[in-house]
Amino acid sequence: MSSLILLPRILHIGAGASAQVGDVLKTLGCSHPLIVTDTSMVKLGYVERLQAFLPPGDVYADTVPEPTEASIIAGVEKVRHGQYDCIIALGGGSPIDSAKAIAILGKHGGRMRDYKVPRIVNEPGLPVIAIPTTAGTGSEATRVTVITDHERDEKMLCLGMGFLPVAALVDFELTLSLPPRTTADTGIDALTHAIEAYVSRKANAYTDSQALQAMQLIAPNLRRAFHNGQDRDAREAMMLGATLAGIAFSNASVALVHGMSRPIGAFFHVPHGLSNAMLLPSVTAYSLPAATARYADCARAMRVARVSDSDEMANRKLLDELVALNAELQVPTPEAFGIERATFFNLTTTMAEQALASGSPGNNPRVPTVDEMVKLYEQLW
């Protein structure tokens, strides 16, 4: 059976890749870009640095972490009333996801909920050139965006070729200023992408190769980048690993961790990578009996198990590593994060129902019921 693989038309990877943005615009035949970013990119001087390579253009810098429809409306209006022929997305996953949504809504109209799964959005929006500044979401190479419906407290998964950037400039030097907390959260997000893509029911030979390579790059370097943000070798490995993981999950889908993670973010404003990190050890333990060989491959790719280890031994080492990684990277429990206990437990069924409706749990090796997800949420506390 064949597999459909979707990638950005142009990929520049390595130190200084972001400086190629002007040439990329010319290649695409674009000359009137809108830069979509956030205020931190402006303060750090990244926007000004980028503008040196571009024709005169406008900037929309009001994107927010964990973007909502409300946070992108002003950007959508800019596109609707402007003469832009492309969007340059600069930042972490939130600005890039915001830019993807703005590109679709600005061209086709409607509300974001009109575009969430099960609808598949293959109609093109404005071309998006993505320049990531974190080694995490892989959004620069995916046909996915996640936007919160603030009226319903629901993180909407939106999927299709229309959300795939036409170009990605993956420059690890833009990550050297990341603080340890962001490095940890985005790094575990990338590792989760790789693991879930590999164990997904929609995995294929191509995504397997990308996912395994991503794990080989991310796992040995995440701690190094966390403890020393100026470690260029670790930053470079993390950045490439995150992009490969993005390619893998975009073409194989994520699974239960992401399905259960989105409602935690929507209801309690937990950063996406952090909620993934909270869930990864327990969801892996739950899922492992249905894909022992696949999870053992993950342990070996991450170099926490030997090739000679049995699958059972490799999986024990994998679970130990995920717990140890969370401890070293100071990943809190929901309680330690400051979530109110009664509210969390009252919402477990709603969160489980939203997770199931997203479709991601259906890709998991072991597909849970709502009741099983409720128990997993309760254990997480």
Band of the pLDDT at 153, cuts 50, 70, 90? confident
Predicted confidence at residue 291, as pLDDT, reads 98
Q: Measure Cα distances from 279 to 228, 286, 343 in Å.
A: 25, 11, 18
Predicted pLDDT at 56: 87
Span 227-242, pLDDT tens digits? 999 999 999 999 999 9
User: What domains sit in the chain, N to C, each tagged with a CATH number?
Assistant: 10-175 (3.40.50.1970), 180-380 (1.20.1090.10)
Q: Which of 107, 32, 122 is nearest to 76 (CA)?
A: 107
> What pLDDT, in 10s, does the model give residues 241-271?
999 999 999 999 999 999 999 999 999 999 9
For residue 217, pLDDT over 90 is answered with: yes
Q: Please answer whether residues 279 and 375 qualify as being in contact, where contact means their C-beta atoms are separated by less than 8 angstroms.
A: no
Q: Whose structure tokens read 């950005």?
A: 8
pLDDT at 152: 85
Across 280-296, average pLDDT: 98
Residue 207, pLDDT > 90, answer: yes
Band (1; pLDDT cuts 50, 70, 90): confident
Beta pairing partners, 12: 169
Phi and psi angles of residue 131, each rounded to the nearest 5 degrees, phi first: -125, 95
The mean per-residue pLDDT over the stretch 258-285 comes to: 95
Q: How far apart are CA 308 and CA 300, in angstroms?
A: 9
Q: Are 217 and 193 in contact (CB under 8 A)?
A: no
Rounded Cα distance, 91 and 231, in Å: 20
Q: Which residue has the tokens 């259906």?
A: 362
Q: Where are the beta strands (DSSP E) in the chain?
A: 10-13, 33-36, 58-60, 86-91, 128-132, 144-149, 154-159, 167-170
155 pLDDT exceeds 90? no
The tokens of 293 are what? 């060989």
Q: List the structure tokens of 208.
A: 């397997």
Q: Are 61 and 41 in contact (CB under 8 A)?
A: yes
Report how far apart, in Å, the C-alpha atoms of 82 and of each of 38, 47, 86, 109 are: 20, 20, 11, 14
The total of other beta-carbon atoms located within 10 Å of residue 20's CB is: 19
**Do residues 244 and 194 lie in contact, with contact meaning Cβ atoms separated by under 8 Å?**
yes
Q: In this structure, how many other beta carbons lie within 10 angstroms of the beta carbon of residue 343?
A: 10
What sign results for the dihedral spanned by CA atoms 156, 126, 250, 19?
negative
pLDDT per residue as tens digits for the range 21-73 = 999 999 999 999 999 999 999 999 999 999 999 988 899 999 999 899 999 99
Contact (CB, 8 A) for 110 and 150: no
3-state secondary structure of 307: coil
Q: CB–CB of 339/347 below 8 Å? A: no
Residue 196 binned pLDDT confidence (cut-offs 50, 70, 90): very high
Q: Residue 353 pLDDT more than 90?
A: yes
